[in-house]
């Protein structure tokens, strides 16, 4: 059985004050979340504060990015070992905003995945097509390219303790969610592709859906057999909305 996972990707939002309020709200209602493992991914500079505020709660800490290098002259970068110092259990790698706005390549994302694992942090690998690619009917081809880069780097079994997030880029922050059937189709494809190499790994790896998930659509998405939870952007900044989404993960 795969335990559902709901991860809040706060992106570059919040302040010390607003984050404290948000966490108070999340912690206050957390006991109503039965099944899901809950993770929040604040901006790097708030990791320490958030860790302190989460002490004694079951919410895990994650980061939004990590360097592929272990240490050295990489101004502005953060190493996986540093994230571990702050007890980050997860880190998002290859988010579409990193790929499109900061030019991260498939091989760089694969190296980040490997660096996180080497430090004992579970990577959340984001994959997904842009609208043009969906319209051209090449969604599967794009996802395979992104996935295979990681499999080549770390081997298929390494995916088992990581997480995959299928995020159609056209659904991120746009209010346009993939329908549960559209999402399930890609999730089943990804799991099938992994199963061709390792049935055990395919059965274990959690595949999250991301892209305009809200309390109103979470239940239908999470009811799909290959959707194991969600990576939540905008809606994770509202405690009530986020908790409702976490409750929908069964
Ligand atoms: P969204 O973002 O929920 O605001 O669409 C999801 C994500 O980018 O991870």
pLDDT interval class at 39 (50, 70, 90): very high
Residue to mutate, 5, 64, 126, 167, ligand 1, most ligand atoms under 8 Å from C-beta: 167
Query: Alpha helices, DSSP H only, in the chain?
Result: 16-29, 47-54, 80-85, 96-101, 106-118, 131-135, 139-154, 180-195, 199-204, 215-222, 239-248
- 212 CB within 6 A, ligand 1: yes
Question: Does the reported pTM lie above 0.85?
Answer: yes
> Could you tell me the residue ranges of all domains in the chain?
5-248
Q: Is 176 in the pocket of ligand 1 (CB under 6 A)?
A: no
pLDDT reading at 94 higher than 90: yes
Q: Indicate if the pLDDT at residue 1 is higher than 90.
A: no
Under CATH, what is the fold of the domain 5-248?
A: TIM Barrel (3.20.20)
Compute the distance between CA of residue 170 and CA of residue 131 in angstroms, rounded to an integer.
5
| DSSP category for residue 114 | H
CA distances from 83 to 8, 33, 46, 67, 90 (A): 17, 26, 12, 10, 9
Assess whether the C-beta atom of 236 lies below 6 angstroms from ligand 1. Answer: no
Residue 128 in contact with ligand 1 by CB distance below 6 A: no
Q: Which residue among 37, 97, 133, 167 is the active-site one?
A: 167
Please state the length of the chain: 250
Which residue minimizes the CA distance to atom 7 of ligand 1?
233
| Pocket of ligand 1 contains residue 201 by CB under 6 Å | no
For this structure, is 219 an active site residue? no
**Pocket flag, ligand 1, residue 9 (CB < 6 Å):** yes
Q: How is residue 61 written in tokens?
A: 């800490």
Query: What are 42-84's pLDDT values in tens digits?
Result: 999 999 999 999 999 999 999 999 999 999 999 999 999 999 9
* Residue 141 alpha carbon to ligand 1 centre in Å: 22
20 is catalytic: no
Is 156's pLDDT higher than 90? yes
Q: Which atom of ligand 1 lies closest to the CA of 211?
A: 5
Q: Spell out a b/e string for 218-245, using b for 16 or more CB atoms within 10 Å of the CB, else e.
A: beebbebebbbbbbbbbbbbbbebbbbb
| Counts of helices then strands in the chain (DSSP H, E) | 11, 8
Q: Convert the pLDDT of each residue in 179-198 to its tens digit.
A: 999 999 999 999 999 999 99
- Residue percentage of the chain with pLDDT more than 70: 100
CA atoms within 13 A on the CB side of 35: 14
Average model confidence (pLDDT) across the chain: 97
Cα dihedral: 19, 22, 27, 31 (round 10): -150
Structure tokens, 226: 């290959």
Q: Say how many Å lie between the CA of residue 72 and the centre of ligand 1.
A: 32
**Residue 243: pLDDT over 90:** yes
Ligand 1 in reach of 162 Cβ (< 6 A): no
Any ligand 1 atom below 6 A from CB of 231: yes
Q: What percent of the chain has pLDDT over 90?
A: 96
- Using CA positions, which residue lies closest to atom 3 of ligand 1? 233
Residue 8 has pLDDT above 90, yes or no: yes
The candidate with the shortest Cα–Cα distance to 12, out of 102, 87, 106, is: 102
For a pocket test of ligand 1, which of 65, 170, 231 has the largest count of ligand atoms closer than 8 A to its C-beta?
231
């Amino acid at each position: 059985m795969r335990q559902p996972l709901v991860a809040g990707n706060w992106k570059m939002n919040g302040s010390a004050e607003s984050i404290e309020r948000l966490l108070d709200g999340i912690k206050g209602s957390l006991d109503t979340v039965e099944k899901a493992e809950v993770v929040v991914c604040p901006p790097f500079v708030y990791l320490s504060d958030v860790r302190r505020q989460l002490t004694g709660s079951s919410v895990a800490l994650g980061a939004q990015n990590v360097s592929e290098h272990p240490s050295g002259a990489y101004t502005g970068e953060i190493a996986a070992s540093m994230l571990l110092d702050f007890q980050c259990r997860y880190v998002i790698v290859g988010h579409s905003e990193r790929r499109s706005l900061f030019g991260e390549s498939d091989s760089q994302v694969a190296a980040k995945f490997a660096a996180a694992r080497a430090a004992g942090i579970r990577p959340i690998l984001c994959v997904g097509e842009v609208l043009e690619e969906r319209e051209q009917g090449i969604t599967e081809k794009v996802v395979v390219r992104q996935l295979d880069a990681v499999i080549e780097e770390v081997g298929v079994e390494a995916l088992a303790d990581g997480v995959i997030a299928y995020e159609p880029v056209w659904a991120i922050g746009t209010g346009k969610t993939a329908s549960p059937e559209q999402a399930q189709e890609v999730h089943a494809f990804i799991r099938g592709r992994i199963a061709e190499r390792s049935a055990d790994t395919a059965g274990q790896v959690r595949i999250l859906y991301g892209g305009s998930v809200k309390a109103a659509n979470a239940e239908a998405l999470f009811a799909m057999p290959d959707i194991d939870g969600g990576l939540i952007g905008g809606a994770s900044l509202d405690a009530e909305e986020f908790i409702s989404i976490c409750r929908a993960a069964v």
